[in-house]
């Protein structure tokens, strides 16, 4: 199978996706993460190492936001 990367104008994106789905073609969407955002994540990860007491337990956070 061949793989193709295309840049589609925003206003034609939905039409293009619908066309590909109608033709039975596989559509994989990729989101580009800007460099500034990657840098920010790395800074926050580094900060979390120096202040571990500020970290929250993921299971507790999920439980607090759980909707019945």
- In the block, residue with structure tokens 């295309």: 6
CA neighbor of 38 nearest in space, from 46, 30, 26: 46
Q: How far apart are CA 60 and CA 66, in angstroms?
A: 10
DSSP per position, 8-46: --GGGHHHHHHHHHHTT-------PPPHHHHHHHHHHHH
What's the pTM? 0.43
Domain boundaries, the chain: 10-64
Tens of pLDDT, residue by residue over 5-52, are 888 899 998 998 899 889 988 877 778 899 999 999 999 888 888 888
Look at residue 15 in the predicted model and tell me its pLDDT: 93
């Amino acid at each position: 199978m061949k793989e193709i990367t295309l840049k589609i104008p925003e206003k034609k994106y939905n039409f293009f996706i619908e066309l590909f789905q109608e033709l039975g073609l596989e559509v994989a969407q990729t989101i580009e993460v800007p460099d500034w955002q990657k840098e920010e994540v790395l800074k926050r990860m580094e900060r979390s190492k120096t202040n571990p007491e500020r970290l929250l337990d993921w299971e507790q956070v999920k439980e607090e936001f759980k909707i019945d």
